[in-house]
Structure 1
Amino acid sequence: DPYPSATAAMAAMPLDEQGMKVLKDAGKQPKADRAVYLLPAATQLETSGSVTASNRSVQWREKVIEPMFESKPDHTIMYLFAKKFGFADQFVGKKDGKQNIKVEKDEPNVEDMTREFNNGSWTIGYTGQSPERLQAHMRNMHVFDVKTLRAKGGKDAKTGYVLDGDYFGLPWPCFGNAALKHPGSPVLYNTHLHVMDGGGNFRANFGVEKDGVNLLAEDGSYSKGAEITTGYPEFDHVLLKKLGWWDELTDAEKAEAEGRNWKTDLSGGIQRVVMKNHGCHPFGNAKARAVVWNFPDGVPKHREPLFGIRPDLIADYPTHDDKKAFWRLPTLYKSVQEKNKDIGKQYPIILTSGRLVEYEGGGEETRSNPWLAELMQDNFVEINPKSANDRGIRNGEDVWVKTPTGARLKVKALVTERVGPDHAFIPFHFSGWWQGKDMLPYYPDGAAPIVRGEAVNTATTYGYDSVTMMQETKTTVCQIERA
């Protein structure tokens, strides 16, 4: 069966089959010995620019120190790559004597980079977070309410920018250009607020009707202060003219907006008139979709995983048919499930993975921190007392976790009632071991993380989501044995 991740496949591949491989990382990893080139990336403390948080707020980070040794920021590495292969002009938008992104000593200007994604992200509202607004927020964090995120008064001493009413970090969608001064949207689809206060409604993203059913909002459903109090489609030049709002554009905006809609009018004029003058949303006002007709399942329903321990459920809850081309690649579903329908006899435990509080992501950085490394010094598998007793496994012993890929992980047994007899759990923050072997010799002296362990995704089985193409990492099957 295919390996579940590129990392596992590359690590298992003989060197002579890999060809050239390029890795870019701030910290040395055990697989880096197989690289032909290792590009030394700077850490976040050695560069500046915008970063987006999980609440959609955008923050501006300042460089603390210059990049150490030969390390370079990601954007510098990308520019040098483009320069080497002859497309640097396209990379920085250089054409007809103009250039979107300035470059100094091979480093693209981070403010210009932010303006570039502002210019190209109208449809999702990644447009109003100019570097100047973001920098003003960071200089004046004290004026923002820690619960609502909204600024209570305040003016930036450096630029004179008035902060009052902005939400910290201008959480996207932050519509229009910076001049519109949209405050950001901390809560999506909030009809209790005016659109210029961060309010909104459901987007008209799927047409106006389907099979004779109206997809737009019904009468009386609209965001606070909107002049149109029923459903309406997304705005374009035609709708603006029909409503008599076209002449509220400036002459320059008219020239840019003619023949375009709110997403392709780069002047921002359509958004300005619709939102500021009339309180409506440029992307329309529609109903939320409960039945998604263009998904494989219009309404989500259970389908048995490709690798499971309940073959009796497959007939009632089968997976999808194989796809010859899905995101340009053949993707297997039914054939894999049929081939492995009795796999539970050999691998009777469902293996899932998840996170720990003390580590983050793959854990390379957090496992290198002595204060955090002290909290969890070994990777482990949670196993139910009944399953452990049936296998002669005691708490704290080394065990092998084996899966249908042929991989096996050597981890500590954590005997606990947190998992049932037919389930096991391994955290995903570990690396540095490969199927029972410590990879310490492959790190440069002094560069290895303090804590190393098996990576659970070495052993996860094949499978991809039918819509997003995300890999399946939560429903592997396994067998656990004493080491």
Structure 2
Amino acid sequence: MPATRDSVADIWGPRTPHGPEAEWPVRVDEQIDEPPERWVQAGCVLCSNGCGLDIGVKDNRIVGVRGREEDVVNKGRLGPKGLHGWQANMSGDRLTHPLIRRNGRLEQASWDEAMDLIVTQTRDLCDRYTSGAIGFYTTGQLFLEEYYTLALIEKAGLGTPHMDGNTRLCTATAAAALKETFGADGQPGSYEDIDVTDCILHFGHNIAATDTVLWMRVLDRRAGPNPPKLIVVDPRLTATAREADVHLAPRAGTNMAVLNGLQHLLIQGGYVDRSFVEAHTLGYAELERTVRAYSPQRVEEITGVPAADLRRAAEMIGTSEGLVSTVLQGVYQSNQATASACQVNNINLILGRIGRPGCGILQMNGQPTAQNTRETGADGDLPGFRNWANKDHVQELADLWNVDVDVIPHWAPPTHALEMFHLCQTGSIRMLWIQATNPAVSLPDLGRIRKILQKRDLFVIVQDAFMTETAQLADVVLPAAIWGEKTGCSTNVSRVVHLHHKAIDPPGEARSGLDIFLDYARRMDFRDKDGAPLIKWSDPEEAFEAWKDCTRGRPCDYTGLSYAKLTGGSGIPWPCNEEHPDGSVRMYTDLHFATDPDYCESFGQDLDTGAPKGEEKFRALAPNGRALLRSTDYIPQQEQVDEEYPFLLTTGRLVFHFHTRTKTARAPTLNAAAPDDFIQVSEEDAARLGIRDGEWLKLTSRRGALEAPARVGDIEPGMIFIPFHFGYWDNPGRARAANEMTLYDWDPISKQPHFKHAAVKLEKVEAPTTRQPEPVDLHPDEAPAPGRLAATVETVSQAVANAAGAVASTVSPPRAHLADYIGLLLESEELLARVFEQTAETHVNTPDMPSECALMAAWSHEGMKSLQPFVAKYGERQEGETERLEKALMVQRTSKNFDLLRDLHDLFLLANESLVSAAILEQAATALRDDDLRDAVTRIREHNERQREWLFGRCRQAAPQTLVVPS
């Protein structure tokens, strides 16, 4: 196959060195099967880098690609996936007709049959259970116009809060960290900053494998004059780490300690730009107090990173004039994800390195159109980076769409992916529409996911181009057109918008996502409040023009863009409007951040619990355009190694594959380069266990197991790495999916799953013995819908009983003596800890309960310990009420949704009890001038407030679904 290079043997291609004074030189990469008849402008959608390319077409076939030399993102370069991924379009196993499950088998159907079935099912569920019984799980592979149409259907057509995508697995923390620090989503920096900076920090970002063209950009600077210093933080010795001047390899789950340690050294070394911090940030004093405890020696104890290496990294960062920081899954999918990502933001901010060339932050995405899911609200957010908690923002959308504001589901936080699948598991969501993604391989704890997708009372629609592991479990399969076969826009990490023109026709009867969504909306007859069709466009360009109106005045302003403007040259970065007609290379050049309360996308959350801060508290901060320095302590992850499971598993990506290999495994060149799974172990562990390269190993966690050949070296002792791409559609005959073993748990703010730390055990085997999972219940005796769903309509006969009334007369202690209140607070904290622990045990399968309840219980145990000296000092309590409180509230319930709500309700009452006692004691201690007692009860009160905030938010989240939708 004619090509400019062998991109398997030479992944990143030849160097084109340049210094900071020169532009990145052009280098055009090309891969063709045969000479094309014409070239069609598009972009690459096989990583988040978003390179511009042209598609070579002959006889309605794609015959090759070439990089666009005029494009600002890649200047003509393409990585292995970009050069070969198009081969999947030509795969012989494309889905070409709709399929409906009849008597347990997927059989060919017409579009009318498939869509009528979906519409009938939708209406039946809405009538029986409300639209809260319907969920959408989308992708990072659609185009902007498709996402916006889907978001409008979900938010204003059906009015369900249940929409998220697989971008939750890769990019949710990027969005969350940007909101927490800068008030809104949108990258402050750009790829161009790499061209001029003198220092680069890659934290948890194996850029050489995940963003090959961006890595070429780094390598070209490193090969030229005045190369930038490079610091890489990764537990593995990757190609990225080998290039680094300093490589820090922390233990899994300890990123926060490393970052607090770096900030400690930067402050101690006098590198902070204090005039910048004072003028443009809030929170520095608290940050300084927090990181004071993270000396290099303590960081080494927690993380394993040598103190000398941490000092070298801090000195490199501190003495540089610029700094480009990039972050990816090593942070996003690990312990304290959002909190850690915010610390990377902090580093740039305390040094004043933002808003100018060579000084930027790139909270990277994993999916190619992840930025579009966030912009349009297809990930559950509000379109245009609007704020769910701002009533005016919700009203803006209602006015734009001409619908009643109460139609838009803003009464509870949007449902994120793992919570959505949990609601499917409990029977609360009864229809799930999955587009262009493969959760049966990509989500954690796959045994659990397969059982959910096979439930008799869950109607599953899969919209895809191939028969994936997920499509095999669907009730309806819709054949989808993919990249190259439809027109639309995508936006990359650097905010650059590319227009992809349709190059060829899709195979058979496959349709674009936009056509499918428009057909569904027409059949559902969605209307605005004047009776006109809710969706007022019929093609991609009309959808784009409607989207522009939605972005007007928002951070992601597209109003200066058009299909005509995006055709023929380079992609253009937003914001693009009258003020910036040619787009904006970087944001915040005026150092005014998006934190104005009337403008911001979020009022912030507690970094440890995820509890919303609330509008009142945010306005009281008066940020008004200043960035927020968020800080917190390191907290160990919940699942730790032990004697039975002595290794920590981390998962990640390979340079030749994307997501679950749905496309890349169908590109022969890419599949041949990485045909199978492997288990990477350190040389030290391999020597101890007698493991050699290529020998078969079995890896087991508390959730599942897999078997794969060994790969020895380039990883820290005690760590295990496996790529997550591999599943079962190509029938390897054994269990090999990494997510058989991963945790069904998430970050408290971004709700991104924890893929980067799971306790596992390792053993040698002679040959594979574990069979690949097989569907066990495809309902062969049942027709699909509506018969697949239960015929009875469940109703909620009463609301949650008001426990407060039953307890109110018993919680007030009859005596106000100091000793009584100290004793009351002590026993309240003890009871609170026990009920949190009991709730965690009762609701062990509700994903956030074990981890969050463990954290809350630990706080109460800490409070109990801190009060003991004052019991000795002031005496024992004479009388209290906790026995009756315990009898009323420490009730052993079941794991059902309604009982979870009751348990949360009771915990909220208990936290209130402690909070009141702590507040009273705080005042008494002040009057007594007992500073030690005041400090102790102040700490307890602060923890009680955080417990209450989380519990109150969790109750409000659970209540609409539990009380309104029968389950």
Q: Same fold (TM over 0.5)?
A: yes
Q: Paired residue for 2:752, among 464, 470, 479?
A: 470
Which residue in the other structure is 1:301 paired with? 633
Amino acid at match of 2:536: I
Secondary structure of residue in 1 paired with 2:628: coil
Secondary structure of residue in 2 paired with 1:479: strand
Which residue in the other structure is 1:25 paired with? 464
Q: Does 1:189 align with 2:588?
A: yes
Structure 1 204/25 Cα, relative in aligned 2: closer, same or farther at 3 Å? same
Which residue in the other structure is 2:569 paired with? 140
Which residue in the other structure is 2:549 paired with? 119
Quick one: distance in 2 between partners of 1:423 and 1:14? 32
Q: Paired residue for 1:396, among 688, 694, 719?
A: 694
CA positional deviation for 1:42: 0.6
Higher RCO structure, 1 or 2 (CA under 8 Å, sep 6+): 2
Would you say how many aligned residue pairs link Structure 1 and Structure 2? Answer: 309
Quick one: distance in 1 between partners of 2:531 and 2:761? 63
Structure 1 474/16 Cα, relative in aligned 2: closer, same or farther at 3 Å? closer
CA positional deviation for 1:99: 7.1
Which residue in the other structure is 2:722 paired with? 426
Which residue in the other structure is 2:593 paired with? 202
User: What does 1:154-165 correspond to in 2, within 5 Å?
Assistant: none
Q: Paired residue for 2:627, among 284, 288, 291?
A: 288
Amino acid at match of 1:120: C
Secondary structure of residue in 2 paired with 1:11: helix
Quick one: distance in 2 between partners of 1:308 and 1:20? 37
Secondary structure of residue in 2 paired with 1:424: strand
Which residue in the other structure is 1:482 paired with? 764
| Worse overlay, 6-15 or 37-46 | 6-15
Structure 1 81/7 Cα, relative in aligned 2: closer, same or farther at 3 Å? farther
CA positional deviation for 1:455: 2.5
CA positional deviation for 1:22: 1.2
CA positional deviation for 1:8: 4.5
Q: Does 1:460 align with 2:460?
A: no
Amino acid at match of 2:756: K
Q: Does 1:413 align with 2:745?
A: no
Tell me if structure 2 keeps the 8 A contact 1:352–1:424. yes
CA positional deviation for 1:61: 0.9
Quick one: distance in 2 between partners of 1:116 and 1:454? 44
Tell me if structure 2 keeps the 8 A contact 1:58–1:129. no
Point out where structure 2 has 5 or more consecutive residues left out of the alignment.
Answer: 1-421, 426-442, 600-615, 766-967
Point out where structure 1 has 5 or more consecutive residues left out of the alignment.
Answer: 104-108, 142-167, 192-199, 217-232, 234-285, 292-298, 310-343, 442-451
Tell me if structure 1 keeps the 8 A contact 2:525–2:533. no
Tell me if structure 2 keeps the 8 A contact 1:351–1:474. yes
Quick one: distance in 1 between partners of 2:651 and 2:657? 14
Structure 1 367/453 Cα, relative in aligned 2: closer, same or farther at 3 Å? farther
Which residue in the other structure is 2:505 paired with? 66
Q: TM-score, normalised by structure 2?
A: 0.30
Tell me if structure 2 keeps the 8 A contact 1:306–1:463. no
Secondary structure of residue in 1 paired with 2:627: coil
Q: 1:278-327 deviations in whole A, cap 9, x for unaligned?
A: xxxxxxxx221113xxxxxxx13311111112xxxxxxxxxxxxxxxxxx
Which residue in the other structure is 2:479 paired with? 40
Quick one: distance in 2 between partners of 1:376 and 1:411? 13
Q: Paired residue for 2:575, among 144, 148, 173?
A: 173
Structure 1 369/362 Cα, relative in aligned 2: closer, same or farther at 3 Å? same
Q: 1:317-340 deviations in whole A, cap 9, x for unaligned?
A: xxxxxxxxxxxxxxxxxxxxxxxx
Q: 1:125-158 deviations in whole A, cap 9, x for unaligned?
A: 33334663x43232134xxxxxxxxxxxxxxxxx
Q: 1:256-299 deviations in whole A, cap 9, x for unaligned?
A: xxxxxxxxxxxxxxxxxxxxxxxxxxxxxx221113xxxxxxx1
Quick one: distance in 1 between partners of 2:522 and 2:706? 42
Amino acid at match of 1:22: I
Quick one: distance in 2 between partners of 1:440 and 1:396? 17
Structure 1 307/372 Cα, relative in aligned 2: closer, same or farther at 3 Å? same
Identical positions, percent? 23
Quick one: distance in 2 between partners of 1:424 and 1:400? 12
Quick one: distance in 2 between partners of 1:454 and 1:187? 42
Which residue in the other structure is 2:42 paired with? none
Alignment RMSD = 3.2
Give the number of the structure whose residues are more often helix, by fraction: 2
Tell me if structure 2 keeps the 8 A contact 1:207–1:215. no
| Worse overlay, 452-461 or 350-359 | 452-461
Structure 1 365/24 Cα, relative in aligned 2: closer, same or farther at 3 Å? same
Which residue in the other structure is 1:439 paired with? 731
Secondary structure of residue in 2 paired with 1:345: coil
Which residue in the other structure is 1:315 paired with? none
Tell me if structure 2 keeps the 8 A contact 1:27–1:364. yes
Q: 1:429-482 deviations in whole A, cap 9, x for unaligned?
A: 22227xxxx7369xxxxxxxxxx9822122101321111111111111111112
Structure 1 131/65 Cα, relative in aligned 2: closer, same or farther at 3 Å? farther
Tell me if structure 1 keeps the 8 A contact 2:471–2:477. yes
Q: Does 1:368 align with 2:633?
A: no
Amino acid at match of 1:101: K
CA positional deviation for 1:213: 8.8
Amino acid at match of 1:362: T
Structure 1 130/182 Cα, relative in aligned 2: closer, same or farther at 3 Å? closer
Quick one: distance in 2 between partners of 1:83 and 1:372? 40
User: What does 1:257-276 correspond to in 2, within 5 Å?
Assistant: none
